[in-house]
Amino acid sequence: MLRPLGRLEQDIMDLLWKKGEGSVRDVFGEIEKKKPIAYTTVLTVMNRLTEKGCLKRKMFHGAFVYTPMQTQEKFLLGVLKGFISSLSKNFGKEIVVRQFVESMETLDPAVAKKLLQAAKKK
């Protein structure tokens, strides 16, 4: 339900978040080690990720080098924010907040305290 990227898109993003940057050939070489895939498929998906605003590219020695537009954490926070906003819109904020609070029972007390302090500031 909360899958903003396809499997190959996610594999590519995970690799580039880890490495910082890479060409299509670099990414293709890493992914090909795990599963058979066509170079053109990786190229197409990386171009699609660029169009979606997940990657940016620059020309370097005759080849594009791709870098993530934002950190993995910022990306995930944005996805989560959109998901929670959608839930709130469709089911009401009270239900979303109540479920969040109930899920905090298993949370580390120190983390729960920080979240409570942040909530009080809001």
Torsion-angle region of 93 (φ positive above 0: left; ψ -120 to 50: alpha; else: beta) = alpha
Buried b / exposed e over 71-95, threshold 16 CB at 10 Å, is: eeeebeeeeeeeeeeeeeeeeeeee
**How does pLDDT run across 8-52, given as a tens digit for each residue?**
999 999 999 999 999 999 999 999 999 999 999 999 999 999 999
Reported as a pLDDT band with limits 50, 70 and 90, residue 109 is confident
What crossing angle do the helices spanning 72-91 and 93-103 adopt, rounded to 10°?
130
pTM tops 0.75, yes or no: yes
CA 97 vs. chain centroid, Å, equals 23
CA angle 51, 52, 53 (to 5 degrees): 90
